[in-house]
Structure 1
């Protein structure tokens, strides 16, 4: 059964199905923006463009470009200067969800936590003796 939903972009009412999560008008606008970006990046001289250069040349919002990258519609392997922000610090990355610096910080914190836990358990050992009376 069809479900009614408000478009997250324009708040218009539309019938939601498995394929669309926004109204047809917003979907068509997004597709038009993707085609504009794709045509811009297809040119050899534009393949090394940065995010700012693409935004300036195509007038497509950076958030929408990031959406295209995260959804896999734009393959950053073909475009050396494109990336998306690390989920923790916002530094541009090309794979995963966290940058190398954030990963190493998390690993250090985990190692510190594990050493602290080991130290606590060493001090909490209880020894029992058997009394043979």
Structure 2
């Protein structure tokens, strides 16, 4: 169900849906900025432009450019200096949600956790298997 919320950019009320995270007026303005940025980047001499240069020329914000790259509207394969921040550490990446360093760290943490679980289970099993013999008194 759609809900009525305030636009994060202009604070105007609008009906939020799955396609937009801002009001229709701000969405139109973002689309105009996107077209301006895309037109700028399509020129051969601007394809390797830095984020700062794109912001300076088009007036788009860094967050908008990150959103366009994340959604696939601006392809890093065509524009190599574009990317968006890793969800965990903020390093600029061009695909996925996490950078290679964070993925490797999470993978090693999971492997360590599995080893600890295995060790703990083996220890519990060995404690249950111990048999104590006592002296029988006659």
In the TM superposition, 1:46-125 aligns within 5 A as: 46-125=46-125
- Alignment partner, residue 24 of structure 2: 24
TM-score (norm 1): 0.84
- Tell me whether 103-112 or 8-17 shows the greater mean CA deviation: 8-17
Structure 2 unaligned residues grouped into runs of 5+: 132-138
Do structure 1's residue 10 and structure 2's residue 10 form an aligned pair? Answer: yes
Q: Answer whether contact 2:51 2:82 (CA < 8 A) is retained.
A: yes
Report the 3-state secondary structure (helix = DSSP H, G, I; strand = E; otherwise coil) of the residue aligned with 1:33.
helix
Superposed CA RMSD: 2.2
Q: Report the CA distance between 1:128 and its aligned residue.
A: 8.0
Taking the aligned partners of 1:15 and 1:114, their CA distance within structure 2 comes to 46
Q: Which runs of 5+ in 1 are unaligned?
A: none
Deviations 1:80-110 (A, max 9, x none): 1111111111111111111111111111111
Residues 25-82 of structure 1: CA distance to partner in whole angstroms, max 9, x if unpaired? 2111111111110111010000111212211222211011111111221122211111
Give the equivalent residue in structure 1 for 2:129: 127
SS at match of 2:14: strand
Q: CA separation of 1:43/1:5 partners in 2, compared to 1, >3 Å: closer, same or farther?
A: same
Deviates more, 1:1-10 or 1:82-91: 1-10
CA distance in 1, matches of 2:129, 2:20: 64
How many Å separate the matches in 1 of 2:21 and 2:120? 50
- Residues of 2 paired with 1:17 and 1:122: CA distance? 51
Larger radius of gyration: 2
TM-score, normalisation: structure 2: 0.81
